[in-house]
Amino acid sequence: MKKLILPLVLLSAALLQACSQPSGEAPGAASASAAKPESALANTEERLSYGIAYNLGQGMATENFPVDVDAFMVGLADALEGKEARLTREELTAEMQSYQAQVVAQKQTAETAYLAEQGARDGVVTTKSGLLYEVVTEGEGGKPTSTDTVSVHYRGTLPDGTEFDSSYARGEPAQFRLDQVIPGWTEALQLMAPGAKYNLIVPSELAYGAAGAPPSIRPYSTLLFEVELLEVLPEEEDAAEEPEAAAESAAEPAAEG
């Protein structure tokens, strides 16, 4: 049991040493030497233990999950040694719910501020649902209904510019029924005629909401799209192909378009 815990203890010590490193010392060098002490990672058990801990730590860092390394190591050691938990299930659930509520509140506040800022820009229209759109090019002809199948080119990004999906990158337009994608797309495309190109800012509640679309789209994410409506397809030409993210969330009411 102690051998299994050893690499994790060493990882904890390395993290703590990196955090307490004097400002005059090069942090990169200190982290590198502490992360792989001579006595660690000498066998399969230690390397496997280190890898599990490292992957778990990466996930926590990616999600900005607050971790007290000392408390984390105590909890891990207690569980591995079969000791009774120091928190009841009710206490742990309460803490997790409280943390989740704080995160949701912070994300909603940030999203509200971002949408207000974007909605104040010249040329941006905000609909009753909260969808924001900007006309780049207007089209001509009849507009699709919610049960029509359309052919579109699009690019989806996060507010920080990270691209998560693009029909342009795949080299072919996407085809789908408007009632099979996220609400923001269903609404926006009914405002467009063939040939139109709009920039969309889709609030999280009109996109993936609390579920998100891992790994690219986190819960409560505002999504940005460049959308070009190529044509409204005749009923007999309806195609089954959907945008990549839409297909991944076909079972969800907020499927990505």
Which residues belong to the active site? 154, 164-165, 182, 208, 225
Q: Provide the 3-class DSSP secondary structure of residue 197.
A: strand
What's the rounded Cα separation, in Å, for the pair 248 and 109? 28
The first and second tokens of residue 57, run together, are 């730590």
Q: Provide the b/e sequence for 112-151 (b: ≥16 CB within 10 Å).
A: eeebeebeeeeeeebeeebbbbbeeeebeeeebeeebbbb
Q: Is the dihedral of CA 41, 45, 47, 50 positive or negative?
A: negative
Distance CA 246, CA 257 (A): 5
**How far apart, in whole angstroms, are the C-alpha atoms of residue 60 and residue 49?**
17
Give the Cα separation of 176 and 182 in Å (integer).
Answer: 11
- The full length of the chain comes to 257
Q: What type of residue sits at position 115?
A: L
Q: What is the rounded CA–CA span in Å between residue 160 and residue 15?
A: 29
